[in-house]
Amino acid sequence: MSERSAIIFLETEYNRNSVAALAGSLEDILGELSGTVKISFLPVEYLGEDIRLTEAIGDAGTVMFAASLGILYDNPGAFLADPKSPALEGRRIYHVAGGPGAVNAPELLLYAGFDAVCASEGEEVIRDLARFIGLGRFRRFWDIPGLWVMERKNAYFTGRRPRVDLSNYRPCSRRWRKFGFIEIVRGCLNGCIFCQTPRFFRGGVRERSLRVVYGSVRDFVKGGRDHVRLLAPNALSYGSHLRGQPNLSALERLLSGIRANLPDTGMLIYGTFPSEIRPEWVTVDAVRLLKKYVSNRKVAIGAQTGSDTLLKKIRRGHTTNDTLRAVRICREEGLKVFVDMIFGLPHETPSEFEESKRFMYEIFRLGGVVNAHTFIPLPGTPLANVPAQKLRARFRRELSTLEAGGQIIGNWRDQAAFRKWRVKS
Ligand code: SF4
């Protein structure tokens, strides 16, 4: 059967993980689609290039562009194809957006020109979208739950979907050689008020089963990859249902099984950003276990701020002492430690700012490096509309000096510029 429709994933450097997971989900229903949908991948910067676009479309009469937008995307228009492009002449075109950058701003994207915005977990939605354009299973976007659509200039939600069971989906695609992080845990029991994770992935935590994780590792290896990175909101939480208490035997089963499926020269990366470790979970035994199996000799610890009163206000659920203790343990075990800190958080008083600064220097004294972030209000969180604190010029200069000396890393400067741009626009 000829492929009369096409889904084209628009790739960026930020959406590699989402594209891999969506492609993996589609790979498992190719039999059902019976060759009716061509799946293509196009770096978003080639969207305006006719030759590349024609190649991606093939002979499809209906084309759906799928854009997974990261939190820091700045121009949704870059993901919209020009309908006047010769490559699109005579074809029916749809634009669908999803991902963390889309999920909480659906109206904005619909007004920008997208036909539908996915506000649910993508694994099942992408299958229904393929059934829609390939098999005609649905009459219109309205019939597919989990989407925002526009009707008479108003945005409507088509209805909630059940939470996906991660173990029913693989996080990568061998067929199309799309490999990102292997997501082993989704959702979070904590409620940090700046974070989208517990708001988007409601209802607690889900884990990918060991069977599927090991199978994914084998997919990586068969696909020519000899290193894997694991993704979890807290690197020590796999298999544990008790806050702050790692389940060492579950963690060991996970990591040793992955190792067993990797070649001897393979790399297993875990416990680094964004799969940081919550400080109150750090124990000597847990760190030794990590060291035994992972290839990285650096870890990331989420501190976020160095003021205990601000930690309470942002509902982090740990103290500054937890972080200092965690840094000490990791350093004593010979690991390089990166401590995540967010600057410019709302509700921060001048004295809390000073405490945070002192804390930062304490981290340096212990031999840690600070991974500095500038607070960005994220849609859907309790801080979405709360004014952020400005990073004063003097403090920015101080961060730059520390950065030049290697004591600070991170995207704090780009994030500050993005925040400024967003306030202006
Ligand atoms: S910042 Fe980390 S620990 Fe806090 S809610 Fe988000 S994912 Fe959970």
Q: Name the residue of 185, 194, 197, 281 to mutate for ligand 1: max ligand atoms within 8 A of Cβ.
A: 197
Kindly report, residue by residue over 109-118, the tens digit of the pLDDT. Answer: 999 999 999 9
Return all residues near 73 (Cβ < 8 A) that are at least 6 apart.
Answer: 12, 14, 101
Percent of the chain with pLDDT over 70: 97
**Domains within the chain, CATH numbers bracketed:** 5-157 (3.40.50), 181-424 (3.20.20.70)
Mean pLDDT of the chain, nearest integer: 94
154-157 and 147-151: which strand pairing?
antiparallel
pLDDT of residue 1: 44
Kindly report, residue by residue over 176-209, the tens digit of the pLDDT. Answer: 999 999 999 999 989 999 998 998 888 789 999 9
C-alpha dihedral (19, 25, 31, 33), degrees to nearest 10: -60
Ligand 1 pocket member 104 (CB < 6 A) = no
Tell how far the Cα of 67 is from the centroid of ligand 1, in angstroms. 25
15 dihedral zone (left: phi>0; alpha: psi -120 to 50; beta): alpha
**Strand-pair partners of 382:** none
**Higher confidence at residue 300 or residue 72?**
300
Where does the pLDDT of residue 422 fall: very low under 50, low under 70, confident under 90, or very high at 90 and above? low
Average pLDDT over residues 119-123: 92
pLDDT of residue 109: 93
Q: Residue 95 in 3-state DSSP?
A: strand
Tell how far the Cα of 126 is from the centroid of ligand 1, in angstroms. 26
Kindly report, residue by residue over 318-357, the tens digit of the pLDDT. Answer: 999 999 999 999 999 999 999 999 999 999 999 999 999 9
Closest CA to 126 of 274, 1, 275, 15: 15
Ligand 1 pocket member 282 (CB < 6 A) = no
pLDDT of residue 137: 94
Percent of the chain with pLDDT over 90: 83
Ligand 1 pocket member 198 (CB < 6 A) = yes
CA of 276, closest atom in ligand 1: 2
Average pLDDT over residues 6-18: 95
Which helix (H) or strand (E) segment holds residue 92: the answer is strand 92-98
Tell how far the Cα of 317 is from the centroid of ligand 1, in angstroms. 10
What's the ipTM? 0.99
Ligand 1 pocket member 389 (CB < 6 A) = no
pLDDT at residue 412 tops 90: yes
Return all residues near 171 (Cβ < 8 A) that are at least 6 apart.
Answer: 17, 20, 21, 24, 180, 181, 182, 183, 208, 216
CA of 233, closest atom in ligand 1: 7
pLDDT at residue 105 tops 90: no
Ligand 1 pocket member 197 (CB < 6 A) = yes
Tell how far the Cα of 107 is from the centroid of ligand 1, in angstroms. 26
d(CA 165, CA 333): 36
Farthest CA pair distance, the chain: 69
CA of 278, closest atom in ligand 1: 3
Q: Whose CA is nearest to atom 4 of ligand 1?
A: 192
Which helix (H) or strand (E) segment holds residue 52: the answer is helix 50-57
Supply 199's token pair: 């708001």
Closest CA to 370 of 397, 333, 351, 343: 343
